[in-house]
Amino acid sequence: MAIELKLLGVAVIIGLVQLLWAAAAARGQQDLKWAAGPRDTPMPISGSAARLHRAFWNFVETFPFFAAAVLAAAAAEKLGSDLTVWGSILYVAGRALYAPLYAAGIPMLRSVVWFASLIGLVMILVALLR
């Protein structure tokens, strides 16, 4: 199996870990009765729980583009190039580092890591469109 497809699987795992991490952090501030109910009344979260929530949704915003790019490159038989391999590595590494940096409240480095993951995604698209 191509490394890019394996990294796509790793990215799914990263997304699931972020989902569970954000939910666990939120439950520390929201009681279980509220969480198990219809959630008609919002119960805001703050601090690292809120940052983890935002980091997860940031992942959700970019992951479909990564998945589509890798799958399109696979369909076009363009996997295995330096651009797709290193682009996938850069995206996945950036997404793996982003949430912990965001949770810790490290702003500038977090933005650099986010931008690096975006560059990785663009690298895959460049390879696809060649």
* CATH number, position 62: 1.20.120.550
The phi and psi torsions of 32 (rounded to 5 degrees) equal -65, -30
Tell me the CA distances in angstroms from 62 to 2, 27, 49, 55, 115, one per residue in order: 21, 25, 20, 11, 11
pLDDT of residue 73: 98
pLDDT of residue 35: 75
Task: Give this prediction's pTM.
Answer: 0.92
Closest among 8, 22, 96 to 57, alpha carbons compared: 22
Can you give the residue range of the structural domain that contains 56?
A: 3-129
Q: How many domains does the chain have?
A: 1
Distance CA 56, CA 80 (A): 29
Segment-wise mean pLDDT, segments of 10 residues, the chain, 130 residues: 98 98 90 79 90 97 98 97 98 98 95 98 96
